Amino acid sequence: MQDQIDNLPKFAKDKHKENKTFFTKLKKKPPKHLDYLMQELHDNEFERTDCLECANCCKTTGPLFTDKDIQRISKFFKMKEQQFIETYLHLDEENDYVLKAVPCTFLGSDNYCSIYHVRPKACQEFPHTDRKKFQQISHLTLKNVAICPAAYNIVEEMKRRIQL
């Protein structure tokens, strides 16, 4: 898998124009069964993909932390919310709390997440490929295919399965 991860930015770059055109058309005319299809493609891909062999999302891009995430995770650490924020987070240019650094502080050398059961919502949902009305997050998906091999494969399969 490491080979695919290493080559992913290049693969994604090569496909960027094609993917952009596909998502522009998808947004204009999403098929009626899109939610259903995305669930199928997502489930099939994650049956084959072992995130513990990858963890590229945790290594290269951090999640944003909502207020609820901060409450839940600081409680888990028995820290005050402000203390948690000061220790691990900073505000980005869009005023969202994000990690001070990547790879994520909570990622172990075995690729396990040390806060898995309380991890941020954004981590739980990444790469968002089973999300309803998937066409609405195409801008995000265009970026995620360069980070996540599963998202890349799902988009390739989408292009095979959806004739626009």
Assess 127 for contact with ligand SF4 (CB under 6 A). Answer: yes
* Structural contact between residues 59 and 113, judged by C-beta atoms closer than 8 angstroms: no
Question: Which one among 41, 107, 145, 146 touches ligand SF4, defined by CB under 6 A?
Answer: 107
Cis ω on the peptide bond leading into residue 149 (within 30° of 0)? no
Tally Cβ neighbours within 10 Å of residue 44: 13
Question: Beta 89-91 vs 97-99: how paired, if at all?
Answer: antiparallel
Percent composition of the chain: helix, strand, coil (DSSP 3-state, to 5): 60, 5, 35
Number of residues engaging ligand SF4 in binding (CB under 6 A): 23
Assess 89 for contact with ligand SF4 (CB under 6 A). Answer: no
Of 81-89, 112-120, 128-136, 155-163: span binding ligand SF4 (CB under 6 A): 112-120
Which residues does residue 97 pair with via DSSP β-bridges, in sequence order?
65, 91
CB of 41 to ligand SF4, least distance (A): 14
Paired tokens of 67: 């207020």
Of 14-22, 25-33, 129-137, 147-155: span binding ligand SF4 (CB under 6 A): 147-155
The 19-58 site mask, x for binding ligand SF4 (CB under 6 A), equals ------------------------------x-x--xxxxx
**Interatomic CA distance for residues 82 and 102, integer angstroms:** 21
Report which of 16, 31, 40 is spatially closest to residue 139, judged by C-alpha positions. Answer: 16
CB of 111 to ligand SF4, least distance (A): 8
Of 17-25, 90-98, 130-138, 142-150: span binding ligand SF4 (CB under 6 A): 142-150
Q: Which residues bind ligand SF4 (CB under 6 A)?
A: 49, 51, 54-58, 62-63, 104, 106-107, 113, 115, 119-120, 123, 126-127, 147-150
